[in-house]
Amino acid sequence: MTLEVSNISVSLGGFEILKDIAISVPEAGMTGLIGPNGAGKSTLFSVISGFLKQSAGRIQFGGRDLDGTGAAVRARAGRVRTFQVPREFRHMTVRENLYAAAPDQPGEHLINLLIRSAKVNLREREVRQQGEEVLDFLKLRKVADVPSGQLSGGQKKLLELGRVLMLKPKMILLDEPFAGVNAVLIAEIVDRIRELHAGGVGFLIIEHDLEAISDLVDEMHVLNRGMLLASGAPQAVLDDARVREAYLGGAVQ
Amino acid sequence: MTAYLVTIFIIVLIYLLLSLGLTIQYGLTGLVNFGLVGFFAIGAYASALLAMNGIPMVVSFLLASVLAGLAAWPIGLVALRLRDDYFAIVTLGFSETIRLVIVNESWLTNGVRGITDVPALFQGAASSAPLVTVGVLLIVNAAIIVVLQRIVKSPFGRALEAVRDDEIALTALGKSPSRFKIEVLVLGSALAGLAGAFYGHYVTYIVPDQFVPLTTFYIWMAVIIGGVGRVSGAIFGTVLLIGLLEGSRFLRDLIPAIPDTEMASVRIGAVGLLLILFMIYRPQGLLGDFTKR
Amino acid sequence: MYYIQLALNGLSQGLVVGLAALGITLVFGIARFANASAGDGLTFGAYLALVGQRITDSLLLGVGFSIIVSALANVLSYKLVFKKLAGRSSVALLVGSIGLGFLVRGALGVVFGHQQEVFNVQLVAPYRIGELAISILDLQMASVAALALAATFGTLYFTSIGRQMRAVADNLELARVCGIHPERVMIALWSLVGAVTAVAGLILGIKTVVSPEAGWEMLLPAFAAAILGGIGSPVGAVLAGLLLGVAQEVSTPFVGFSYKIALSFVVILFVLLVRPSGLLGRIEGVR
């Protein structure tokens, strides 16, 4: 199944933030969305994930127009996003963040707390079990009981990924997973992404660090100043003269 | 003397139900409900009318409470997406509209004259009725407090914390903050309705004038002074509130020159002053704040 | 004809609501919170004018007295209450304003008692145009209101401090960066709001009675008008107030006398859900 972005434009307050963007993202693929700061990448994410309504154009998935479906619904449908600046539930511990993310919890309905406590407890056990697995997978066990607001930037990014994993998504939209993260941790994150991809999870990754991403993705789309500059295999895109120019007239090695 | 103290105790316990309702809504979930008294009114009138038409009181209490909760549902659906201050204005408008409906639909509510013969509580117990009332109210309040603590520790409570911390993040994880807020709004309003039922059958005489916004803000004051977000704060604040209200009565006895209506103004002024002072100097209340708002 | 008469009567009600809404929308736009003490500000202004008239035997001087003292009192309430709550959540300011309103209402009740007072105005036969009756008092009140509006809009659009106020309403950060002193803007804001609510309270007091509860009952209609007109739009607030005043009067034969306030509630809900920016406002982040 494919996510089709067709002629998406976004205008806010007179500014054209996105102009006529058209890309195709295979659900189980590994796709990159790159561009300099302010190119509109996060805005495109917001439109795709349902947080922002486009001024023109359509988002379709598997042939069906997503218009009208809210952000929460789109996330439940299997396509979950993270945020450029991590949005951890800062007063809650890492564990609690993960537990809170798990879907389909009967305990989140007051009625069930009253009359179906067996079901509530059963699901809670499952959630906690899954939480421990995610903690191990992301190597966050050491900080499991730390209030997430106190984590380092890199750890917060891992936690964002962890929360997303609790939903067992089909496709993860990562917004700058490597920004502000040290090189060792970046390598870790890349490994985790590869592992997940091998297990069938698709990725759409925003990055402006070309190096980190060109080995990782199968296909890249380049945005600049709200417009689509180039699309294609990483090397082809990197060799593209317009792309080089967009990145500071540059030496893109 | 003891009879007087029992009366005070009963009033405290009834108002405590209101404070607990507001604590769930504002303290735990940040809902700025300025229409609390509207649900109080629905509970009082619903239970009174049902009981006067042959429904046994236990049932009428339950139905009144459910009705008050259900009345909150459309408000939730419609107004919870709004910013805090707009939500507050809408709920205020709602409670005033409820009062207007009560005043105008006199075929149902007897309008401004009110209902004068609301069936009293525990008539079967005759002279021990007040004590039985205290007992029942204590049990009800205790049960609700236990339920509240369980909710806080449950997945629902966890979700509420997430709503307080970052609604957008929660939405991105597939959960709708509005749904949680509506459930809290309904629960808190049902509590207010239950309080109303107890109130109506205790004072046995209900008029629209008893259900004015001032009561809503008495409870706000109690919760703010006691400490937002904590059950102990709700208890402490309610005791303080009733203490102040009753204390003002004694003040009037000391200074007979102040007529009744002036006492009412002194009370309103005092509530206003306390709200201002606490908002500025001690917003976390006297017992501290565990929601870090 | 009957409806036109109702509409005319509604206009003076509409002036009260419109002026009160103007005060609310100015505070919302520039200080960014819902001022729930606006209603009691009306009562305050009415009592001030009453006192002023009783002392000087001149309604005109009473009005002047009311405007000046009300402006000063509003600046004082800014300094003592709202400034101290600045930067806190909008709930804190809202609750603070509720407290302020209660304090004013309580104080007025203690000082003046609860009997309804009336202004000492001469009863003169109204002008008659065909079957319509237009009272002279209404015309006088309308002129005072017009003057107040002219002064307000003149200040907002033709003076330097007015430009600064509008800049702060538009974009607080940018205004600060441009060197606009927030304090001066706030003092100007609250003085203006004080003057406007004083006039609104005066008209209310003259048309009806002066009592401690009178202004509070105008709060919901005033909010409804501010929201209908578009929060942050002074012109919208006044127009919506007039509209609402007329609508309330004209609807009376249909919905009965007491449901007038319910009309405000319905208007608020309707606007916030269907067209949050109101008639003339920009979307201000209602959701």
In a domain, B248, yes or no: no
pLDDT band with cut points at 50, 70 and 90 for residue A181: confident
Across the interface, whether the CB atoms of B271 and C99 are under 8 A apart is answered yes
Which of B24, B144, B173, B181 to mutate against chain A (most A CBs within 10 Å)? B173
pLDDT of A167 reads 96
Average pLDDT over residues B66-79: 93
In angstroms, the first-to-last Cα distance of chain B is 42
Which of C95, C261, C267 to mutate against chain B (most B CBs within 10 Å)? C95
Distance (Å) from the C-alpha of residue B94 to the closest C-alpha of chain C? 7
pLDDT of B2 reads 83
Judge whether B149 is closer than 8 Å to chain A, CB to CB: no
Q: Is the pLDDT of residue C286 over 50?
A: no
Average predicted confidence (pLDDT) for chain A: 89
pLDDT digits (tens, 9 = 90+) for C62-78: 889 999 999 999 999 99
Range scoring the smallest mean pLDDT among A103-107, B92-96, C57-61, C160-164: C57-61
In a domain, B143, yes or no: yes
SS (H, E, C) chain A: CEEEEEEEEEEECCEEEEEEEEEEEECCCEEEEECCCCCCHHHHHHHHHCCCCCCEEEEEECCEECCCCCHHHHHHCCEEECCCCCCCCCCCEHHHHHHHHCCCCHHHCHHHHHHCHHHHHHHHHHHHHHHHHHHHHCCCHHHCCCEHHHCCHHHHHHHHHHHHHCCCCCEEEEECCCCCCCHHHHHHHHHHHHHHHHCCCEEEEEECCHHHHHCCCCEEEEEECCEEEEEECHHHHHHCHHHHHHCCCCCCC
Q: Is the pLDDT of residue B290 over 70?
A: no
In a domain, B242, yes or no: no
Cα–Cα distance between C13 and B68 in angstroms, integer? Answer: 34
Chain B residues inside the 8 Å CB shell of C84: 280
In a domain, A133, yes or no: no
pLDDT of A63 reads 83
In a domain, A153, yes or no: no
Q: Which of A51, A81, A99 sits opposite B158 (nearest CB)?
A: A99
Cα–Cα distance between B136 and B6 in angstroms, integer? Answer: 13
Across the interface, whether the CB atoms of A167 and B155 are under 8 A apart is answered no
In a domain, A9, yes or no: yes
CB B130 within 8 A of CB B3: yes
Judge whether B158 is closer than 8 Å to chain A, CB to CB: yes
CB A78 within 8 A of CB A173: no
- Chain B residue nearest residue C97, CA to CA: B276
Q: Tokens 């405007």 correspond to what residue?
A: C67
How many domains in chain A?
1
Distance (Å) from the C-alpha of residue C73 to the closest C-alpha of chain B? 16
Q: Which residue has the higher pLDDT, C8 or B275?
A: B275
List the domains of chain C with CATH numbers: 2-121+135-274 (1.10.3470)
> How many CB pairs lie under 8 A apart between chains A and B?
94
pLDDT over 70, % of chain C: 95
Chain A residues inside the 8 Å CB shell of B176: 70, 72
Q: Is the pLDDT of residue B84 over 50?
A: yes
pLDDT digits (tens, 9 = 90+) for B102-146: 998 888 888 888 999 888 888 777 777 888 889 999 999 999 999
Q: Which two tokens stand for residue A112?
A: 């069930």
Judge whether C96 is closer than 8 Å to chain B, CB to CB: yes
Q: Which of B155, B165, B171 sits opposite A108 (nearest CB)?
A: B155
Q: Which residue has the higher pLDDT, B169 or C178?
A: B169
In a domain, B12, yes or no: yes
Average pLDDT over residues A135-154: 93
Q: Which residue has the higher pLDDT, B83 or B66?
A: B66
CATH of the domain at A77: 3.40.50.300
Q: Is the pLDDT of residue A194 over 90?
A: yes
Tell me the ipTM for this assembly.
Answer: 0.91
Residues 31-90 of B with CB under 8 A from C: 32, 34, 78-79, 81-86, 88-90
In a domain, B146, yes or no: yes
Q: Which two tokens stand for residue A169?
A: 């998504």
Cβ burial of B117 (10 Å; 0-12, 13-18, 19+) is: exposed
Residues 213-252 of C with CB under 8 A from B: 220, 223, 227
- Which amino acid is it at C235? V
- DSSP β-ladder status, C127-129 and C132-134: antiparallel
Q: Is the pLDDT of residue C287 over 60?
A: no
In a domain, B260, yes or no: no
In a domain, A19, yes or no: yes
Show the domain range for A226: 2-87+172-193+202-246
Cα–Cα distance between C197 and C209 in angstroms, integer? Answer: 16
Q: Is the pLDDT of residue C264 over 80?
A: yes
Q: Is the pLDDT of residue B253 over 80?
A: no
Q: Is the pLDDT of residue C209 over 60?
A: yes
Average pLDDT over residues B53-60: 91
How many domains in chain B?
1
pLDDT over 90, % of chain B: 64
pLDDT of C1 reads 66
Average pLDDT over residues C15-39: 93
Judge whether B275 is closer than 8 Å to chain C, CB to CB: yes
Show the domain range for B140: 2-210
- Chain B residue nearest residue C103, CA to CA: B269
In a domain, A30, yes or no: yes
Chain B residues inside the 8 Å CB shell of A81: 172
Question: Rounded to the nearest 5°, which phi and psi values hold at B278?
Answer: -70, -40
Cβ burial of B5 (10 Å; 0-12, 13-18, 19+) is: exposed
Average pLDDT over residues C84-111: 92
In a domain, B217, yes or no: no
In a domain, B29, yes or no: yes
In a domain, A109, yes or no: no
Which of C93, C266, C272 to mutate against chain B (most B CBs within 10 Å)? C272
Distance (Å) from the C-alpha of residue A83 to the closest C-alpha of chain B? 8
